[in-house]
Amino acid sequence: MNTLKAIFHSSLLLLAFMDFSVAHHSFAFEFDRNQNATLEGEVTWVRFSNPHVTYRVRTQLENGAMEEWQVQTHNVGMLLGINWDQDTIKVGDKIKLSGALGRNSSKKIFMEWVTLANGEVRNILDGASSSAYDIVDINADPDKSYGVAPTAHPYDITGAWNNRYKFQITAGDLEPKPTPFTEEGRRIHEATKEWEDPAKTCSPMGLPRAFGAPFNLEIVDAGGYYLMVAYGGVRRIWLDEREAPEGLLASPMGFSTGKWDNNVFIIETSHLSQSWLDGLGLPMSGEGTRIIETYTLSEDQLTMDRKMIIHDPYYTEPLIRERGSARDDDIQFQLVAGTTPCDPTAHYRDMWEQDLLESLWGFN
C-alpha cells in the first residue's frame, strides 16, 4: 500500500542546501524547510516547463483514501544541467520522493530526492545546488578577441559571459541586514503573500532580480548603445547621455544609460515596473526606484565584478547586491532557462484549489 508519511522535524541537510536549489524564486514563502515529507504514488500529470517543473502524484493514505499532491522541483535549465529531461518522470510512473512540505497545509511538496520508476535514486538537491552554479576557474583565452572595442571605449565588455562566477541565490542576499525598511516598506512586506511572486505567473523577471540570476549574459555593441541579453530578457544601455523620453512607461528592465570610468562601466536605470527585489518578497516601488550598477573589468578582461545599488523609497538606505561574471569559451545559450517555454498552469491550478485566484487578480 502506498502511504504518505509526513515527518515533521528539523533537517540539517535540508537547511544546508535548500536555499541553493531555488535561485531567484520564493521557496521560503511557499515551502517550509523545517517540515520534511516522503510521498509515494503514481504520477498523473507532468508539466516540464518554467518557472518550475511540476508533477502531480496520486497517493493512497493508510485509511485507503486517495489524495493527489502537487510536486514541484527546479526549473528546466537546472534539470537539463543534471541530465534530467521531460522523459525522466512520465505519467503512469510509480515513484517515491521526499522534500519540503508546502505551507498552510497545502498538498504540495518540493522534490529533492526521488526513487524513479526504474529503481534509480536521484539526489536532485545536491545535483542542482549551488555547486552546480558557482564557478571559480576561468575557461577563456586572454589572447582571444571577444568583440570589437570602439575607439571611444578603451575596454571591451562585449561577448558572452558566464554569470555563475561568484554566484549566490537572489533571496535574502541584499545588504545591509537587517533590512532597513521604512514604515511603509515594512507594512507592504509583511502583507506580501508567497503566491504574489511575479515569476510564478511567468511575468518577466526584470531588474533587479535578473541581475542576480546565474544564467549566461551576452553583451552586443550596437554603436550608440549596448544590448544586454540574459535570461530571455533584453536591455538597451544608451551610451550618449540621453534622457528618458517624456511619457515613457515603466517596464521590467526600465530605461538605462551607461558610461565608462576607466575600467568600470556604470549603468543608471529608472522607469522600472513595481515588483519584488528578491525571492523573499522585498517590495520595490518601481516609480521611485533608481538603480546604479558597476561592472568592473579585471586587468586581463576575463572577469568582472558586478555591483548593484538600489535606491528605493521603501528603504531608509540603499540596498546592495554583488555578483561576478567570467568569459567562457564553452557557453551554450540554448540551455538558458529563460529561453525555454514558461507555463504557469501549475501555479494557477494551485491557486484555484486554494480559492485564491480572485486575490491574485485583485478582485477582492
Q: Which of the residue ranges 36-40, 127-131, 217-221, 307-311 would you say has the lowest mean pLDDT?
A: 127-131
Q: What is the predicted pLDDT for the residue at 24?
A: 41
| Beta partners for residue 259, in sequence order | 266
Q: Name the domain count of the chain.
A: 2
All three cell numbers of 233, joined, read 530578457
Kindly state the percentage of the chain with pLDDT values over 90. Answer: 48
- 330: pLDDT confidence band, cut at 50, 70 and 90? confident
pLDDT exceeds cutoff 70 at 361: no
Q: What is the predicted pLDDT for the residue at 325?
A: 96
- Whether residue 121 sits in one domain with residue 169: no
Distance separating alpha carbons of residues 205 and 162, to the nearest angstrom: 18
Q: What is the CATH number of the domain that holds 195?
A: 2.40.128
21 in Cβ contact with 129 (< 8 Å):
yes
Q: What is the predicted pLDDT for the residue at 119?
A: 94
Q: What is the predicted pLDDT for the residue at 19?
A: 36
**Residue 358 falls inside a structural domain:** no
pLDDT exceeds cutoff 80 at 147: no
pLDDT exceeds cutoff 50 at 8: no
200 lies in which domain range? 159-331
**Residue 353 falls inside a structural domain:** no
Dump pLDDT digits (tens) for 100-126.
998 888 899 999 999 999 999 998 876
SS3 for 104-127 is CCCCEEEEEEEECCCCCEEEHHHH
Higher-confidence residue: 176 or 151? 176
Dump pLDDT digits (tens) for 182-206.
999 999 999 998 778 888 777 777 8
Query: How many C-beta atoms surround the C-beta of residue 348 within 10 A?
Result: 16
- Whether residue 230 sits in one domain with residue 163: yes
Kindly tell me the sign of the dihedral angle through the C-alpha atoms of 226, 324, 342, 192.
negative
- Whether residue 126 sits in one domain with residue 40: yes
- Whether residue 236 sits in one domain with residue 281: yes
Q: What is the predicted pLDDT for the residue at 148?
A: 55
Bridge-based pairing state of the strands 31-47 and 4-7: antiparallel
157 in Cβ contact with 325 (< 8 Å):
no
**Residue 144 falls inside a structural domain:** no
| Beta partners for residue 306, in sequence order | 295, 323
**Residue 21 falls inside a structural domain:** yes
Q: Which of 128, 134, 124, 147 is nearest to 77 (CA)?
A: 128
Distance separating alpha carbons of residues 146 and 294, to the nearest angstrom: 20
- Whether residue 126 sits in one domain with residue 199: no
- Whether residue 174 sits in one domain with residue 40: no
- Whether residue 291 sits in one domain with residue 181: yes
- 317: pLDDT confidence band, cut at 50, 70 and 90? very high
Distance separating alpha carbons of residues 43 and 56, to the nearest angstrom: 6
- 78: pLDDT confidence band, cut at 50, 70 and 90? confident
All three cell numbers of 352, joined, read 484555484
What are the angstrom distances between the C-alpha of 121 and each of 114, 206, 219, 307? 6, 36, 40, 40
All three cell numbers of 200, joined, read 510564478
- Whether residue 172 sits in one domain with residue 49: no
- Whether residue 175 sits in one domain with residue 65: no
- Whether residue 96 sits in one domain with residue 240: no
- Whether residue 168 sits in one domain with residue 110: no
Q: Which of 331, 300, 297 is nearest to 135 (CA)?
A: 331
Q: What is the CATH number of the domain that holds 66?
A: 2.40.50.140
**Residue 314 falls inside a structural domain:** yes
**Residue 139 falls inside a structural domain:** no
What are the angstrom distances between the C-alpha of 28 and each of 21, 62, 116, 171, 194? 11, 30, 26, 9, 8
**Residue 205 falls inside a structural domain:** yes
pLDDT exceeds cutoff 80 at 21: no
Dump pLDDT digits (tens) for 244-272.
998 898 999 999 999 999 999 999 999 99
- Whether residue 165 sits in one domain with residue 111: no
Bridge-based pairing state of the strands 121-123 and 108-115: antiparallel
Average pLDDT over residues 46-63: 88
**Residue 361 falls inside a structural domain:** no
